[in-house]
Copies of this chain bind each other. A is one copy, B any other.
Amino acid sequence: MASTDAPEIVVRRLPLYLRALTRLAEANHLITSSQELGAMLGISSAQIRKDLSYFGEFGKQGMGYEVPYLRDQLRRILQVDRHWEMVLVGAGDLGHAIANHAGFDRWGYQVVAVFDNDPHKVGQVMGGLTIRDVAELEETIRSLRVRIGIVAVPAAGAQAVAERMVLAGIRAILNYAPISLNLPPEVRVHAIDPVVGLQSMSYYLDLE
């Protein structure tokens, strides 16, 4: 559980720092600096130093940061130095792509159950898992004690699915549906929204 008063916007940058440090460590790069991390990520060095200062003292003035040490500390702080199980609702094209996403395993995330409300899909195998009837959602979340849910259903069904997840114990939701979920404040929601990314890039495009 969060042990500091770091603002959420700071917490959201930590995975980017972790990603950069992991890349450096894989290249056997042992020492880095807020300047180097900043150049890799497009974030100012002052911002990086301030962000990290919420969580402790990780470097020495003028000496930079030890890459493996800072990486491991960020893994601990983010609680990603463990295995997280997830349930996925929606076994359409998007659900298939998510169930087979190559990036999850590497970072300790695993889809352990997939659900759909289409009787034709229930019982089929997807990403090595048998698709379950969404009627079993709550029971499965409770019995597996899963805390992370992925919503990959059409917009019209997303809010209801998310509410059912939360009532059964889900506390973090990755939302692929193109709507904003309205959930209790203790539930974290991260929206995968390609339009937000497109809009921030359109700003830089030359009009013809």
Contacts and interface: CB of A to CB of B under 8 A. Distances in A.
Interface of A: 1-2, 7-9, 11-12, 14-16, 18-19, 23, 42-44, 77-80, 82, 84, 86, 92-94, 96-98, 100-104, 107, 109, 145, 147-148, 150, 154-155, 171-172, 174, 178, 180, 188, 190-208
Contact of A192 (B188, B192, B202): B192
Given A155-B102, A190-B201, A202-B80, A195 B1 contact: no
Given A93-B97, A103-B193, A194-B98, A2 B204 contact: yes
B204 A1 contact: yes
A91 to B, nearest CB: 10
A9 B38 CA distance: 12
A174 B197 contact: yes
Contacts of A42: 8-9
A190 B180 contact: no
Contacts of A180: 23
A126 to B, nearest CB: 10
A100 B93 contact: yes
A19 B196 contact: yes
Contacts of A147: 205-206
A79 B172 contact: no
A147 B204 CA distance: 11
Contact of A101 (B23, B107, B194): B194
A200 B78 contact: yes
Contact of A201 (B148, B195, B203): B148
